[in-house]
Amino acid sequence: MAISSELIYLGCKKGSVEIWNREKLNRIDTLQTGSNCRVLCMALDSTEEVLVFGTSDGQIQAWGLS
């Protein structure tokens, strides 16, 4: 899980990342990582513009969020 000022990012078992509105607690979107493996860890950079995550098959990916 990674938390920004407005959003919550949740890693899921099947390789997806759910994006939730932090205030309303409703799911906004689900992003596919390109892997069917569990998302194990994630972090946002200090500008909240890049999300980095790792999956159980050893992949590390970085996504631009802006």
Say whether pLDDT at 1 is over 90. Answer: yes
Global pTM exceeds 0.85: yes
The CATH T-level fold of domain 2-64 is Thrombin, subunit H (2.40.10)
* Parallel, antiparallel or unpaired: strands 2-3 and 60-64: unpaired
- State mean pLDDT over 46-50: 96
Distance, CA of 38 to CA of 56 (rounded, Å): 5
User: Percent of the chain at pLDDT above 90?
Assistant: 85
Q: Which two tokens stand for residue 8?
A: 């919550």
Distance, CA of 46 to CA of 50 (rounded, Å): 9
pLDDT at 34: 86
Backbone CA torsion sign across 55, 2, 13, 33: negative
- Are 15 and 32 spatial neighbours (Cβ–Cβ below 8 Å)? yes
Instruction: Parse the chain into domains and list their residue ranges.
Output: 2-64
Count of residues in the chain: 66
